[in-house]
């Protein structure tokens, strides 16, 4: 008899610069069954982005209306734009047994844990140290000095929460960290 399809929820939380994008790119290619949530956003569509594929693009008024009608599982104001996860989108995939993967901040992860309890597993990825994080952010060369300072301040607060979650990985060496991540994901999907 087949097991009742219950979609798993995997949430990756990591301070900016800790290697989340690098690790997620590898993970998504090795685990193509993991479906990413399509978020709602009030930011302007960038070239190449498609409504319903990359994001659901809505106006601020539409967004606030949906938020007030409790249509979002979590929402946040990020750099002046609203972003949210749709309750209906997540529910429809979970009902079909599709495993979902999310990339959230600590606040978003906390909302999910509250709503889905053990059905949601949170994996926290940490840099070896704040000094190393700063070095990687500078080396990546994608942010202004001001943005780097904001990210470092946020990272400091996020790292305090590291041990509150289901799993944590130290991204010291990228291959070692990825091995650990993929075995945690395999374990979550198999149980």
Binding site for ligand ADP (CB under 6 A): 14, 16-22, 136, 139-140, 171, 173-174
Q: Burial of 22 by CB count in 10 Å (0-12 exposed, 13-18 middle, 19+ buried)? A: middle
Least distance (Å) from ligand ADP to the CB of residue 103?
8
User: Least separation, in Å, of the C-beta of 24 and ligand ADP?
Assistant: 7
Q: Which tokens is 184 given?
A: 């945690």
In whole angstroms, the minimum distance from the beta carbon of 165 to ligand ADP comes to: 16
Q: Which is nearer to ligand ADP, 18 or 86 (CB)?
A: 18
- 66 or 169: CB nearest ligand ADP: 169
Phi then psi for residue 10, to 5 deg, are: -115, 125
* Least distance in angstroms from the C-beta of 19 to ligand ADP: 3
Which of 66, 155 has the CB closer to ligand ADP?
A: 155
- List CB contacts of 52: < 8 A, sequence separation 6 or more: 38
Nearest Cα neighbor of 170 from 28, 26, 18 is 18
């Amino acid at each position: 008899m087949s097991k009742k399809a219950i979609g798993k929820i995997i949430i990756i939380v990591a301070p900016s610069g800790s290697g989340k994008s690098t690790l997620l790119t590898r993970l998504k290619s090795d685990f193509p069954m993991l479906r990413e949530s399509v978020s709602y956003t009030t930011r302007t569509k960038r070239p190449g982005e498609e409504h319903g594929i990359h994001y659901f693009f809505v106006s601020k008024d539409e967004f606030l209306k949906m938020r007030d009608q409790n249509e979002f599982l979590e929402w946040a104001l990020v750099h002046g734009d609203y972003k949210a996860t749709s309750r209906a989108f997540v529910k429809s995939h979970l009902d079909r047994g599709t495993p979902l993967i999310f990339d959230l901040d600590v606040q978003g992860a906390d909302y999910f844990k509250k709503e889905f309890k053990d059905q949601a597993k949170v994996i926290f990825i940490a840099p070896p140290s704040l000094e190393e994080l700063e070095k990687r952010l500078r080396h990546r060369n994608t942010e202004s000095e001001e943005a780097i300072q904001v990210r470092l301040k946020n990272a400091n607060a996020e790292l305090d929460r590291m041990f509150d979650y289901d799993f944590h990985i130290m991204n010291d060496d990228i291959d070692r960290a990825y091995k650990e991540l993929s075995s945690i994901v395999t374990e979550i999907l198999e149980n």
